Amino acid sequence: MSGSGEVTVTGFGVRTAFGSGADAVRRGVFEGVPAFAPTSRFDTGPYRTPMAAAAPEGPDAVEDWALRHALAECGTQALDMAGLGPGTRAAVLLGVAGDHTSVTRYWRGDGEAGTDAGGTGAGAAADRAADAVPAQLAELLAAWLGLTGPRLTFTNACVASAAAIIHGCRLISSGRADVAVCGGGYLVEEETFGKFDSGRALSKDGMVRPFSADRSGLLLGDGVAVVVLESAEHSRRRGARPLASVVGWGAATDAHHIAQPHPEGAGLARAARQAMRLAGDPHGAALDYVNAHGTGTKYNDGAETRGLRAAFPDRAESIPVSSTKSTTGHLLEAAGVVEFVITLLALTDGVLPPTAGFTAPDPECDLDYVPNRPRRADLRRALTLNAAFGGANTALVLERP
């Protein structure tokens, strides 16, 4: 191991409803184009809305819309960009809840070798039943990429892939690992769609309008990304050019509710303060942008605004904040890593991605949300935030070289 120290980012791969790769993110997320449309991936008839940010079928589609394929694609992109290949010793850390389509296929009896032993209508979906196991996807990704080293999957819902990145940062900064390949993925499917519909969490007007007065909920979206984290010494030794450094991370819990955020954003503020302390800038004096969790729900966005005010009492109003879920939808376990990539692109491109679908200010959401249009900015440091069921919150600080 190279010893403790700075964590750099040397590669990434990303897929959203806009397609595969960074340019697709630039065309969609950074231009403020919402990807929401009625999805045909399953019958949406039983639900209150057909809308999701699910990529359509086409030449750019991932094979079978299987999570294992999307992760392999993004992992390959990330390693290629980093200039690493098979045989690299790297921790493989994922944030993923498993491929839920295998659960649906099992109970629908869509498998190759139906058993239907209990008269349940179920068959043994003999192919890929194990893709429902979160740990299996990390195993498959590591095998596909030819990486040796420990593997671990985080399953803590919408902070899962941010937690994977934080774990990777800890492994590297403590000298336990030189390289950590961190990722996450969610592709829109019916199991989760139905659950969010039953919880009346989905937007009523087919749009996600974070921080806007008329926001009515979230919509789900496709998101998969993999990033290569590397100790600065390791990347320097092999002549790799870091895209950015991860200079701070934090995680904290609300201790408030199983499914709602703390109304004052207490845990989010605590995570952000932790990350900024680690970054050596406890008051956020050098913070240029916040990629918010910004789900577009009544509960989240007001709480997040108050949390940001608590974390940065002297500066909150002067820091641009945007929610890219307004274009990508909510990526669930993948939100952390995809938004990490978006934040990285904001730093490298010098562009703030907008909060799309913003119609009217809400008195309880009173920060600069970069409404509807991208904004050029000379960015050096940015913070990306995520929150999840159970009151889990994460914060990551990226810095441009």
Task: Give the residue numbers marked as catalytic.
Answer: 158, 293, 330
- Per DSSP, 174 falls in state T
Residue closer to another protein (CB basis): 40 or 198? 198
Structure token digits, residue 219: 């919509």
Applying CB under 8 A, the site for another protein has a residue count of: 72
In the window 269-298, what residues touch another protein (CB under 8 A)? 270, 274
In the complex, least distance from residue 147 CB atom to another protein, rounded to whole angstroms: 10
In the complex, least distance from residue 232 CB atom to another protein, rounded to whole angstroms: 19
Contact 79, 233 (CB under 8 A): no
Residue closer to another protein (CB basis): 307 or 320? 307
* Spatial distance between the Cα atoms of 15 and 199, rounded to a whole number of angstroms: 27
Site for another protein (CB under 8 A): which residue of 15, 41, 69, 151?
151
In the complex, least distance from residue 172 CB atom to another protein, rounded to whole angstroms: 11
* Spatial distance between the Cα atoms of 51 and 37, rounded to a whole number of angstroms: 5
Residue closer to another protein (CB basis): 133 or 286? 133
Amino acid at 31: E
Q: Hunting for tokens 């659960």 — which residue is that?
A: 103
* Spatial distance between the Cα atoms of 371 and 379, rounded to a whole number of angstroms: 18
Structure token digits, residue 254: 């609300």
Q: How many residues does the chain have?
A: 401
Residue closer to another protein (CB basis): 148 or 318? 148
Beta bridge partners of 397: 248, 383
Site for another protein (CB under 8 A): which residue of 54, 62, 125, 395?
125
* Spatial distance between the Cα atoms of 32 and 355, rounded to a whole number of angstroms: 7
Residue closer to another protein (CB basis): 104 or 348? 104
Binding mask 234-273 for another protein (x = CB under 8 A): -----------------xxxxxxxxx------xx--x---
In the complex, least distance from residue 194 CB atom to another protein, rounded to whole angstroms: 5
* Spatial distance between the Cα atoms of 313 and 254, rounded to a whole number of angstroms: 19
Beta strands 351-352 and 321-322, pairing class: unpaired
Residue closer to another protein (CB basis): 201 or 341? 201
Cβ-proximal residues to 104 (8 Å cutoff; 6+ apart), any chain: 110, 189, 190, 191
Site for another protein (CB under 8 A): which residue of 139, 205, 264, 349?
139
Query: How many CA atoms are closer than 13 Å to the CA of 136, on its beta-carbon side?
Result: 14
Choose the binding region for another protein from 80-88, 123-131, 240-248, 337-345 (rule: CB under 8 A): 123-131
**359 part of the interface to another protein, by CB under 8 A:** no
Contact 309, 263 (CB under 8 A): no
In the complex, least distance from residue 178 CB atom to another protein, rounded to whole angstroms: 13
In the window 178-237, what residues touch another protein (CB under 8 A)? 190-191, 194-201
In the window 90-119, what residues touch another protein (CB under 8 A)? 97-98, 100, 103-104, 106-108, 115, 117-118
